[in-house]
Amino acid sequence: MPEPNTRPALYWHQSHGSAVDGYKVYLNGTRSSFVDHDGTQDTYSLDCPQDLKEGWNTVKITAVDIYGNEGTHDTWPHKCLTPMPAPVSVSIVGNAGTFTFTITA
């Protein structure tokens, strides 16, 4: 059975502007890390800096300028399942168009 992904990869597009200093990353409402803005990347990525709890979690990323002002943001939900659901296997039995679905653990 696969292990749960409690540290998903986070991806976002750069914020345009010469005064962008970096990005604050919040997990479940608490700031967890800061990523420097180097101005050379269109897309940024970060492995989740801490394990997420089982169930629903929130991720928020904000751009920060050189004066410390945070820009607008979106918050994304992420559901962490522990244990992971069993994989589903599909096998064809009989004539075309007739399918049997079996869930195996």
Q: What is the pLDDT of residues 65-100, one digit of tens each?
A: 999 998 877 677 777 766 555 665 655 555 555 555
Instruction: Give the pLDDT confidence score for residue 92 in this predicted structure.
Output: 54
Question: What is the domain range of residue 49?
Answer: 9-103
- Is residue 3 domain-resident? no
Contact 60, 10 (CB under 8 A): no
- The angle formed by the CA atoms of residues 66, 11 and 81, to the nearest 5 degrees, is 130
- Is residue 84 domain-resident? yes
Instruction: Give the pLDDT confidence score for residue 79 in this predicted structure.
Output: 76
Strand 88-92 and strand 43-47: the pairing is: unpaired
Instruction: Give the pLDDT confidence score for residue 102 in this predicted structure.
Output: 58
Report the CATH number that the domain containing residue 55 is assigned in CATH.
Answer: 2.60.40.10
Q: How many domains does one find in the chain?
A: 1
- pLDDT tens digit sequence for 2-61: 666 788 888 888 887 778 899 999 998 899 889 898 878 888 888 888 888 888 888 888
